[in-house]
Structure 1
Amino acid sequence: MRYMKPASLFQELVKSKALQKGRFLGLDVGDKYVGVSVSDEHNKIALPGSVLLRKKEMIDLMATDFQCLISELSIAALVVGYPFDRQRSSPDAVQVNLLIDDLCASGKLEGVKYTYWDECFTSKSVELLVQRLELHPVRSKTILDKFAAIGILQGYLDFVNRNERLRAMKEDSADEA
């Protein structure tokens, strides 16, 4: 796996034309589960995916699940939620780092590009929406993980698409001048 900065990842995928046929997979990493989302074919909208059980002894199985998703959905790159907190290292950040390290060590995701995207308040926002539905706790947790992954991926898609539009507008105005 290869980390890239958020904007650099998108620019490289555009230049290589990987986004013409590829999509993004969003991940919300928790200590027990990983919520998964996927972008639409145009990389504009994040859609719900699944929730994967996360256990250290099952990392090979999880890596195989990601291989299948990458193949089946034509995934160009992963967008991994990361709790950026400049003041201190959080337990959530440790969980994300451990998962990425374990996936890299599995050797099953060679060449897969990924970036981190700030997951600040995604889980809390979804939690506030879901708690009013009064769902069974297990169902509520599954929805929370899926929709947190959607929030992470949608934030990234909004950022890169807005930057792409601005870049195109600048090129248009430079061509007119």
Structure 2
Amino acid sequence: MVDIDDGLEQMYQEVILEASKNPHGKQHFAADLADEQASTQGEAVVVAEHEACSAGQSRQFNPTCGDEATIRVEISDAEPHTIERLVWDGHGCSISQASLSVMVDLVEGRNVDEAMELFKDFHDLMQSRGKGLDNEEEEEALGDAVVFQGVSRYPMRIKCALLGWEGLKDSLARALAETK
């Protein structure tokens, strides 16, 4: 369990700001299908959460602050399924954008079971109310994602940090369903 002092808190804030300004894995694609349909039909199209999502893709929305992200994951055909590519598109606060960026760096190249373990650890970190995890190995496994520990003290911001991770979980489930 990492105790956050003022200096460490400032460093964590700097990491979050940097990751939100220069996000990893961000790629414009979310409106592809809706735009294509609108241009071919000559009228605007409004799509529900997953109607326009392909396999391995999930759209997440946080109505509290307007964060929105579409996460797209590609996994290997052979078991154990490996995350070969993870990209996202969206907009929102610096916490949601930074969390998505850090998540991409952390899980891309790992197998699905490892990614889901990191999802669980990050979720637990977000429930810690700023205290961190009791298990140092789990905390170390989170790498740069541990910078969001301070966010867990602010209940209204937890959803921002979890947005991309929930999308990862959902998009992995959708990708795995396609392999069966």
- TM-score, scaled to structure 2: 0.30
- TM-score, scaled to structure 1: 0.31
